[in-house]
Chain A
Amino acid sequence: MSLYQELPDNVFITSIDDVLGWSRKHSLWWMVFGLACCSIELMHTGGPRADIERFGAAPRGTPRQSDLIIIAGTLTYKMASRLKLLYEQMAEPRYVISMGSCSNCGGLFSSAYSVVKGVDQIIPVDIYLQGCPPRPEALLEALVALQGKVQKEKFLRK
């Protein structure tokens, strides 16, 4: 019994959509998935100067309690199966921010034998954030862009 993406397209519920979008975008709990150097910048984003928690985004350690996964760092083939399982274990609606060059396209290590050339070969990505590593302010901008995406999402319509 779920109304999620159930109502046909000709039903307009603008204010409820707005309220739902507003409330969801201000509480995007993210799963900490720092793999390499980008995770240092991720830690700094959680620190006091660029504070990610003021956007309502609290870091979680488990995919069960998170709506967003920030993949910060180089993904190797050995880790790829674990990432796939973790993404599958997140509850919908779920979003992915790919942080840094290594998770966008393999980055600096794109000619290496053990590196996945881009995380979108494994899971679907919503926001690609470039940088090596991206500054904390850049990650906040990615989060704000994702918030824009969440706000515009027609949550109850198909």
Chain B
Amino acid sequence: MLREYGSVLIFTLLSIGFMFGMLFVSKIIRPNRPNPMKNSPYECGEVPVGNAWVNFNIRYYILALIFLLFDVEIVLILPVAVVYKDWINNGTGLIALIELMLFVAILLVALIYAWGRGDLSWIKGYKSSEKSETNKR
């Protein structure tokens, strides 16, 4: 069985080596002549004005946060699905199911909370912002 791991190792080393080799060959062949005009930020030919870092919408942060929570939930549920058949054979299948459903129910409360606050709608209508105003009060 160790042999299969060995072939995976060689595959990995070859692919990493290939990648680095390509980049190395490109590096020694291509010209490298920086000058200030060439390094200036591209703005369709105009002289660039203003900052390149702008504020982005806060919706992305909320989306990422909610995704993180439910992604961790999925990660914890998936191994249960792998070993579930052994537990059924053991006789503890029902208990495992009830525990799993309890876990999902607790996180469902979190989902309902986020849904009710209007955090799941991408386009914020007036209604959801009013709701968050009342929640704040």
| Partner-B contacts on A (CB < 8 A) | 1-5, 20, 62-64, 79, 81-83, 85-86, 88-89, 91-93, 155-156
Majority-rule SS of B interface residues? loop
CA separation between A2 and B26, bound complex, in Å? Answer: 9
9 contacts between A and B (CB under 8 A): A2-B27, A2-B32, A3-B28, A3-B29, A4-B30, A79-B45, A82-B46, A85-B40, A92-B33
B residues apposed to A, CB below 8 Å = 27-33, 35, 37-38, 40, 42, 44-47
Quick one: closest A residue to B34, CB to CB? Answer: A91
Chain A, Cβ-Cβ closest to B33? A92
Of all chain B residues, the one with the shortest Cβ separation from A63 is B42
A85–B38 Cα gap in the complex (Å)?
8
Q: In the bound complex, how far is the Cα of B35 from the Cα of A82, in angstroms?
A: 17
**A2–B27 Cα gap in the complex (Å)?**
7
A82 proximity list for chain B (CB < 8 A)? 44-46
Residues of the B chain whose Cβ atoms lie less than 8 Å from the Cβ of A155: 29
